[in-house]
Amino acid sequence: MKKSLVSLMGVAIGSAASPAFAQEGPFAPIEVADGVTLDPIVAARLRYETVDQDNGLKDADALTARLRAGVEIKAGIVSLLAETEGTLALAADYNDTLPFNGVEPFPVVADPENFELNRLQVAVMDGGTGATIGRQRIILDDARFVGNVGWRQNEQTFDAVRGQAHIGPVALDATYAISQRTIFGVDSPNEHFDGDFVFLTGGFEIAGVDAKAFAYLIDYDDRIAFSSQTYGLRANADLDLPGLFALKVEASVATQSDYGANPTDYSAPYYSVKLGATVGGFGLTTGYEELGSDGGVAAFQTPMATLHAFNGWADVFLTTPAFGVRDYHVTVGRSFDGIRLLPGLNANVTYHQFDSDAGSLDLGSEWDAALGLKAGPVSLLMKYANYDANAFAVDTEKLWLQAEISF
């Protein structure tokens, strides 16, 4: 596998995520009546992705363009949001996951051509307290358990009712969803997964410490092997060490077991800890994440997460193998301020070592690197991932070039 591109990357803010690139942002709201505003939403993304795997398949080359367009109308504390989303394949030498395309001799790039209603929701919100009903984006905490899979061209959303409340330092969040609208598009048999899904979080933020408890009850109608109940605790804290540096600490612990019609009787733990600091202008982050196994029978799963942000950008561990995964990772990064010709320049590089929870297997290792900058309203991004397989999967190398703009 080729590793030369790693040497082309710099280092930046200590984070396993990509450097920042354009996020959705509407035009300035337009007042259409007394107390009524109309907020257009436009976001476009052009991306090239190539995948090289040591499995006999041809290299995948995907050039895709995505456009989201919609509008949000607000009248006091009531709002209505409607948004469509379309993805077009400009170069399609890749397996887009759609079955009617036949057997394709390429690795998967999960960005099929698609046109759909992405969001349609009504909300009543006053100062962060209220409810939202309809097809909506839901991102809880760091998206480790519930997210929008924002990296892929087609966003994951939920048909749900969600209530949120902020009472002083206390925050409560409760969601009941009946459908997970996946990234695979309207033409896919996996376009949506229905069931009864409950997401509950509650916690407080005091003196720089944000702590909460959570419960995720996932009962699929058909995808029963992924039905589970998860209960856990999460905490973040910013610690100032005078004369040294500021230390950011994140920790989570959870337990998961079978739920609903899941035929497998199992119980598996989850642990995650991250330590981050800025030293000499460099961001440094080190962490450990364990998606545990119940003796190799079944492992901790997160089927509604934004999985690309965890366990390496090569996406080798989108489904946790039955023997579980232990991910030891370290990131070095930096933002380069004050460079007039390269505004917003930032970069990072991450190393992962993957071991199994059960059986003490060396699964493999991975290098990830990214470089981002702004060119006027356009955000540019280059990302690279190189997974070196040992006891799991095959060598996998990926490269992305992306431009994004939003209003």
pTM of this structure: 0.91
Q: How many residues does the chain have?
A: 407
Tell me the C-alpha distance between 366 and 369, whole Å: 10
Local structure of 104: helix, strand or coil: coil
- Please give the pLDDT value at position 65: 98
- Please give the pLDDT value at position 79: 97
The pLDDT-based confidence of 173 (bands split at 50, 70, 90) is: very high
- Please give the pLDDT value at position 23: 45
Q: What is the dihedral of CA 289, 303, 164, 195, to 10 degrees?
A: -150
Range of the domain at 124: 4-406
- Please give the pLDDT value at position 148: 98
Tens-place pLDDT, residues 88-131: 999 999 999 999 887 789 999 999 999 999 999 999 999 999 99
Determine contact, residues 342/336, Cβ cutoff 8 Å: yes
145 has pLDDT over 80? yes
Residues of the chain with pLDDT > 90: what percent? 81
What is the DSSP secondary structure assignment for residue 107, as one 8-state letter? -
Determine contact, residues 259/217, Cβ cutoff 8 Å: yes
306 has pLDDT over 80? yes
Q: How many domains does the chain have?
A: 1
| CATH value at residue 167 | 2.40.160.10
- Please give the pLDDT value at position 281: 82
Give residue 228's identity as a one-letter amino acid code: S
- Please give the pLDDT value at position 280: 79
Tens-place pLDDT, residues 3-48: 333 333 333 333 444 443 344 444 688 888 889 999 999 999 999 9
